[in-house]
């Protein structure tokens, strides 16, 4: 078994176990344990418990690996493998009882994301990918839609927790929405990227993603046939992520530029995340 395949299988097993913990917690009273970039950017005790479980399982299986997670201190490893962990992507949805959140685990090998798993605890769906080996949903291969016309594209997006940033995002989307089929904002960046991967969305555009929002689901989308980039050849990152099938990416990119997405007035990204 290749290293990347073994890492993907470990990520899937651990994300499923953490997802079970998260799903069982939905029946209990939920409280905000802390806030991060703003009063609306929340952490629940379940986020913390999920990440603690993930860290224990990964380091038990591979004690020399590093870990970069949303809710805990980084662990520096010596193996060349680093895990990127989001214990609940879509914490606000989880807090409100909206069934759109995920547990995300990616493995970087020598700095490059090589294996990934994104688990939806509510539906039980498991999205997975190995670099160069394709992407799957519940073990079955998936691929992006064949949409190549922005006017017919269903586009997912999300908003910052910063009111100042949301104001600019709303203006961008106001220019974009008349020129695409429609916009969807569902509250989990990872599941939006996986929706592109399996054709439930044709494209996805969002600012403010952190590494743990993007690492696992970004690989799933790429391995399903999407281009996952920023604008004008920039890598996908906190400033902007655009994901679409290869036939759609170019025309969509032109539309985004024409809609002013490359004229970001804040010049740099403030300290505010995308989905929790």
Is the distance from CB of 245 to CB of 155 less than 8 angstroms?
no
User: Exposed, middle or buried, 183 (CB in 10 Å: 0-12/13-18/19+)?
Assistant: middle
Residues 6+ apart with CB under 8 A from 140: none
HEC string of the chain equals CCHHHHHHHHHHHHHHHHHHHHHHHCCCCCCEEEECCCCCCEEEHHHHHHHHHHHHHHHHHCCCCEEEECCCCCECCCCCEEEEEEEEECHHHHHHCCCCCEEEEEEEECCEEEEEEEECCCCCCEEEEECCCEEEECCEECCCCCCCCHHHCEEECCCCCCHHHHHHHHHHHHHHHHHCCEEECCCCHHHHHHHHHCCCCCEEEECCCCHHHHHHHHHHHHHCCEEEECCCCCECCCCCEEEEEHHHHHHHHHHHHHCCCCCCCCCCCCCCCCCC
Of 133, 158, 157, 119, which Cα lies nearest the Cα of 224?
A: 133
Rounded CA-CA distance 121/125 in Å is: 7
- ∠ CA 184-255-192, rounded to 5°: 25
Would you state the pLDDT for residue 34?
46
Is the distance from CB of 116 to CB of 216 less than 8 angstroms?
yes
Length of the chain: 276
- Cβ atoms within 10 Å of 143's Cβ, excluding its own: 15
Of 3, 224, 194, which Cα lies nearest the Cα of 114?
A: 3
Domains (range + CATH), the chain: 3-141 (3.30.540.10), 150-258 (3.40.190.80)
Would you state the pLDDT for residue 28?
61
Distances (CA, A) of 47 to 71, 72, 125, 182: 7, 10, 19, 32
Would you state the pLDDT for residue 273?
42
What is the residue-level pLDDT of the chain in tens, covering all 276 positions? 799 999 999 999 999 999 999 998 876 655 554 444 444 344 678 888 999 999 999 999 999 999 998 777 899 999 999 999 999 999 889 988 899 999 999 999 999 999 999 999 999 999 999 999 999 999 999 999 999 999 999 999 999 888 888 999 999 999 999 999 999 999 999 999 999 999 999 999 999 999 999 999 999 999 999 999 999 999 999 999 999 999 999 999 999 999 999 988 876 776 544 443
**Phi-psi label, residue 112: left if phi above 0, alpha if psi -120 to 50, beta otherwise:** beta
Question: Hunting for tokens 């038990």 — which residue is that?
Answer: 60
Q: 211-248: per-residue pLDDT in tens?
A: 999 999 999 999 999 999 999 999 999 999 999 999 99
């Amino acid at each position: 078994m290749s290293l990347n395949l073994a890492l993907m299988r470990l990520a899937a097993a651990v994300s499923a176990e953490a997802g079970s913990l998260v799903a069982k917690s939905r029946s209990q009273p939920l409280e905000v344990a802390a806030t991060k970039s703003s009063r609306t950017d929340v952490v629940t005790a379940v986020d913390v418990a999920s990440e603690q479980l993930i860290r224990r399982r990964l380091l038990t299986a591979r004690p020399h690996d590093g870990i970069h997670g949303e809710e805990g201190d980084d662990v520096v490893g010596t193996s060349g493998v680093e895990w990127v962990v989001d214990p609940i992507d879509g914490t606000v949805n989880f807090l409100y009882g909206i069934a759109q959140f995920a547990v995300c685990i990616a493995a970087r090998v020598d700095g490059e994301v090589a294996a990934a798993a994104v688990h939806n605890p509510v539906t039980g769906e498991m999205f997975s990918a190995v670099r160069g080996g394709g992407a799957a949903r519940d073990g079955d291969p998936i691929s992006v839609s064949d949409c190549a016309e922005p006017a017919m594209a269903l586009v997912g997006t999300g908003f910052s927790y910063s009111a100042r940033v949301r104001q600019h995002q709303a203006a961008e989307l106001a220019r974009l929405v008349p020129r695409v089929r429609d916009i969807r904002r569902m509250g989990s960046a990872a599941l939006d990227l996986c929706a592109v991967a399996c054709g439930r969305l044709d494209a996805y555009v969002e600012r403010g993603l952190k590494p743990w929002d993007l690492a696992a689901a970004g690989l799933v989308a790429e391995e399903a046939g999407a281009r996952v980039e920023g604008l004008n050849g920039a890598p996908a990152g906190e400033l902007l992520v655009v994901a679409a099938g290869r036939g759609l990416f170019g025309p969509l990119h032109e539309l985004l530029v024409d809609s002013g997405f490359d004229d970001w007035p804040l010049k740099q990204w403030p300290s505010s995340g995308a989905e929790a």
